[in-house]
Amino acid sequence: MTIAAESCDDNWLYEYDRSKPLSSQTVYTDVGGSIINVSKIYTNNIYFGVNVFIAADNSIYRLIKCEEGGFTEDNIANKSYIINKMKRLINNSNVAHYSINSNYINVKTVIQDIKLPNIGNTPTVVEFCYKDDKYSFTNIRVGSTVNRSIYSYHDISSLEPKFHKTHIPTGQLPTKDRILQFYQDTQRALNNVYTYVNTEYSQIKIYRNTI
């Protein structure tokens, strides 16, 4: 299984009421798993979207949902909105098609011989990721951070224009120019200042470990 952006980052601290069962403190729980926390993400003090922390498959995953996907600051203030948006994934987490891990089953990574400058004194590694021996997406790894983009898609013309930057037609591999663009986007993202604020309805509080 390839390294997944959703589960590679463990630099988080969890705070909860130890006198109560954890299951009573989740945002939403079903047989397939639980939403344990929803936190607002601010990039350079500008609202970006949310972290949705999910416990499933005996692991904790962090899904990033951006404002453009409907996760506006007003919407995510409503606990029911988050539940309605995420419960299909939770309820079907044991079904391969819906599983959070489904995109990484039978995925192999091939490190590319592409030299890119370090980001923050940390080497940059480019990986092409293949699902069932067909190119699927590209990872850029910077230390323990994994950024994923340049997805394979069968019909680029059907995508909204904003997604053309992050997708290529099925059967193609990323060009050096696309990889350089992805690297520059990753570099900018890692140079941003991120702030995380727990939503009021998240009883299990999660904070970034800055040590």
Backbone dihedral angles phi then psi of residue 33, each to the nearest 5 degrees: 155, -170
pLDDT for 97-129, tens place per residue?
Answer: 455 666 666 789 999 999 999 998 899 999 999
Whole-number average pLDDT of the chain: 89
Count of other CB atoms within 10 angstroms of residue 73: 13
DSSP states of 11-79: -EEEE--TTS-GGGGSSEEETTEEEEEEEEEEETTEEEEEEEEEEETTEEEEEEEEGGGT--HHHHTSH
Residue 57 pLDDT: 77
CA distance 17 to 40: 21
CA distance 59 to 34: 11
Q: What is the pTM of this model?
A: 0.78
Q: Which residue has the higher pLDDT, 183 or 97?
A: 183
Q: Which two tokens stand for residue 89?
A: 């994934």
